[in-house]
Amino acid sequence: MKANSKSVVGSNFDAYVDEVEAELTPANREVLAAFRTDFTLASQLIQLRKGRKLTQTELAKRAGVNQSDISRIERGSANASYRALRRIGRVFGLGVGFLPAAKETDRRSHRASVAR
């Protein structure tokens, strides 16, 4: 995408993202899918933690995990263990499990909820 592309200026964010994604190679689409998976978990944790007005340190103490683990999960840079995720989930009254894969249309609603 050209930096001075008219479609970037004055368009909505979803249209811009759709345009950028349409130009991705298959390999880059795989990278993006992996990133979205990491980001989904990260954004959910951030929303839960902030919704309860907890700092990373407070959440870590309640969950019995290291604060650095919370930070890495929220940055999407950790492969959190099942044990750590289970402990964190318990703080919020949640369990850990598999969910159906998000559909392409779900990404917009997820992005909108994260932006709020």
Q: Are 95 and 72 in contact (CB under 8 A)?
A: no
DSSP 52: T
Residues 13-45 pLDDT 10s: 778 878 888 999 999 988 888 777 768 888 899
Position with higher pLDDT, 12 vs 7? 12
Which domains, ranges and CATH numbers included, belong to the chain?
Answer: 13-115 (1.10.260.40)
CA distances to 32, 35, 61 from 55, rounded to whole Å, are 29, 24, 10
Helices (H), the chain: 13-22, 26-51, 56-63, 67-75, 82-91, 104-115
Instruction: Return the pLDDT at 72.
Output: 93
Instruction: Return the pLDDT at 66.
Output: 96
Place 90 in a pLDDT band, splitting at 50, 70 and 90: very high
Instruction: Return the pLDDT at 57.
Output: 97
At position 98, the amino acid (one-letter code) is: F
Alpha-carbon torsion (91, 46, 68, 98), positive or negative? positive
